Structure 1
Amino acid sequence: MATLLSKSQDVEMDPACDDASSNSSDSGYETITVGDEWIAIVMKYNEVEAAKNSKVDLCFLASIWSPIASEDRLKIMLDWHHWVFLFDDQFDEGHLKEDPTAAAEEISQNIAIMGGDAPRYTADSNPIRYVFQRCWDAISEVSSPEMQNRWIDQHKRYFAQLLVQVDQQVSGQNFIRDVDEYMNMRRGTIGVYPAINLTEYGSNINLPQHVYENPSLQECMTVSADLVILVNDVLSYRKDLALGVDHNLISLLMEKYGLNIQKAMDEIGNMVNQCYRRWYLALAELPSYGEKIDREAMRFVEVVT
């Protein structure tokens, strides 16, 4: 997940980012250090690990998703970004990569957090679940039932495709599937869909469910996920090779279709161009719902862009 959720760096950045990533806060359950310093304490990082994590600058990533987020909401967005990288790495290159039973159990426990059926986790008992539970507590406290359901549904979608990824890894299907099958699986595992809902929270977007479900907006979400997949697979190709990670489109195009690396890159370039075409066609089909809702719909489109 080296470039998960990446966006253009030539964008507006939330001025609250510096505060969210480094200051102390008493807005949570107790007075805590927030951001990179907080996650280093939770995960018990040594100095080298903490410095490596800070260098990633996840607050920058969160702030360009939602440049207008309040400091408190940006902090939760930052916590979620820390969580999703830590959680995902367990399935990409960690102990859950080839263990379907343990993977299913881990996902079940995270779903229970959103259902209110989980124990209260601490940084000592289970640090990764603790971070996710803290995010869910904050978001569910201020979100509408519709928004909470979107959050739950899109995380379940993400979790389900992680299980597909593990099953395909174990059964050796990584280079048997075709491009469409690969993209369908990766749309779930790349993490864009829950990130979009997180940004709805950060930007305080109020989009009615029937508008959210419009095929045009759903296609915009899919295009956004596809673009992140394509960028991710190009930028993380060498790292994936070094770590033995097979779910990379370049590797699939070379192994299954016999393309050399340049032709594989050219094919990805063609797919990127198609994404732009799909995006504009989807927007052209988006109906008007009246001035107030249209304004929220355009704010949502900006999030997805």
Structure 2
Amino acid sequence: MASESVEWARAFGLVDSGHQVWRLLMADAAGLAGRACPDGPVDGLQLLTDMISWLFVMDDACDEDGLGADPGRLAPAIATLLDVLDRCGDPDVVPSAAGPLGDALHDLCRRTRARGRPALLLRFVSQVREYLLALLWEATNRERRRVPPVAEYVQLRRHIGGVHPCLTLTDLASEEPSGPAGRAEPAMVTLEMLAVDLVCWCNDLFSYGKESRADPDAHNLVTVIAQESGTDEAVALRAVADRFNRGLAAYLVAEGALLADGDDGLRPALTARRNWVRATYDWSLVAARYA
């Protein structure tokens, strides 16, 4: 699965140098996808792996290759990608001059559309759109050397993490994804938000060392807590770990309440969200991406 996803990225020109290929291999998108969706069909798992690879390439372009430090440069790229999303993967409409990121995104949308679940396609497109727009917020902060307050960061981090569209593709790989009525339940919305927060905060803890070496003002929950509270790095790291643990406890309570309701239609979605939280932690322990 890993080699297939790297070849997919190379075919679309997402990676074209030895360093970029190595960087994507070290990210181990297949390892993360396999942990998050262990029982999914091969085609569903490949789609999820390719989506994670696309997110890694986009994040690296912003964080390490400079695209995300200049809103004026990033905005046209985002506009092109939004145009791709507006086509919702229509196989009869090929986006013109979309570039490697746009062409690969169109392929992801096309394959999502081909699974024949329109509601999940529209959810996926909407969530990727939110991710892209949040990148502009991040780029503006970088340009101004602005460290956002904690509440603002937590809200936007849910979108910049790219977790929502990955959850949707995990649901798509399920033989029995929950219906829109179940997903609209306030308790389910709360649980999903908690799951996304946990994935993002776990990522911030594991990536902080690498990110802080490259950019002291990096967008990371440790950084924003240290800035807002005036504490040092060690205290901020402990605060993020405590926040994660409190969030995990709240997640388990929310999950238990939904399971107690006896709605078997929600069980695949609950399993997927639990898997994603655990998968992120286990993958982060061994991921060379944060070395």
Question: What is the TM-score with the length of structure 2 in the denominator?
Answer: 0.82
Which letter does structure 1 place at the counterpart of 2:251? W
C-alpha separation between the residues in 2 aligned to 1:54 and 1:276? 30
User: Is 1:179 paired with 2:150?
Assistant: yes
User: Is 1:99 paired with 2:70?
Assistant: yes
Identify the residue that residue 128 of structure 1 maps to in structure 2. 101
Query: Are 2:80 and 2:98, in contact at CA under 8 Å, matched by a contact in 1?
Result: no
Query: Are 1:65 and 1:303, in contact at CA under 8 Å, matched by a contact in 2?
Result: yes
C-alpha separation between the residues in 2 aligned to 1:143 and 1:288? 31
The structural deviation recorded for 1:106 is: 2.1
Q: Sort the Cα spacing of 1:125 and 1:170 in 2 relative to 1 into closer, same or farther, 3 A.
A: closer
C-alpha separation between the residues in 2 aligned to 1:170 and 1:49? 25
Which letter does structure 2 place at the counterpart of 1:279? Y
| Aligned mate of 1:143, from 95, 109, 116 | 116
Counterparts of 1:154-233 in structure 2 under 5 Å?
Answer: 154-174=127-147, 177-233=148-204
Counterparts of 1:221-300 in structure 2 under 5 Å?
Answer: 221-244=192-215, 246-286=218-258, 294-300=263-269
The structural deviation recorded for 1:70 is: 1.7
SS of alignment partner, residue 236 of structure 1 = helix
Q: Select the structure that is richer in helix.
A: 2
Pairwise CA RMSD = 2.6
| Cα deviation digits, residues 235-279 of structure 1 (max 9, x gap) | 111211222152112222223322122211221122012112321
Name structure 1 gaps, 5 residues minimum.
1-19, 23-33
The structural deviation recorded for 1:48 is: 4.6
Q: Sort the Cα spacing of 1:94 and 1:215 in 2 relative to 1 into closer, same or farther, 3 A.
A: farther
C-alpha separation between the residues in 1 aligned to 2:74 and 2:236? 31
C-alpha separation between the residues in 1 aligned to 2:231 and 2:101? 39
SS of alignment partner, residue 97 of structure 1 = helix
Question: What is the TM-score with the length of structure 1 in the denominator?
Answer: 0.79
Which letter does structure 2 place at the counterpart of 1:270? D
Which letter does structure 1 place at the counterpart of 2:222? I
Q: Sort the Cα spacing of 1:108 and 1:204 in 2 relative to 1 into closer, same or farther, 3 A.
A: farther
Query: Are 1:143 and 1:201, in contact at CA under 8 Å, matched by a contact in 2?
Result: no
Q: Sort the Cα spacing of 1:63 and 1:284 in 2 relative to 1 into closer, same or farther, 3 A.
A: closer
C-alpha separation between the residues in 1 aligned to 2:120 and 2:172? 8
Identical residues among aligned pairs (%): 21
| Cα deviation digits, residues 27-83 of structure 1 (max 9, x gap) | xxxxxxx32233234335344543443233211111122112222222222211111
Which letter does structure 1 place at the counterpart of 2:230? G
C-alpha separation between the residues in 2 aligned to 1:146 and 1:73? 16
The structural deviation recorded for 1:143 is: 3.1
C-alpha separation between the residues in 1 aligned to 2:252 and 2:14? 43
C-alpha separation between the residues in 2 aligned to 1:113 and 1:148? 13
C-alpha separation between the residues in 2 aligned to 1:85 and 1:49? 11
Query: Are 2:127 and 2:165, in contact at CA under 8 Å, matched by a contact in 1?
Result: yes
C-alpha separation between the residues in 2 aligned to 1:98 and 1:104? 11
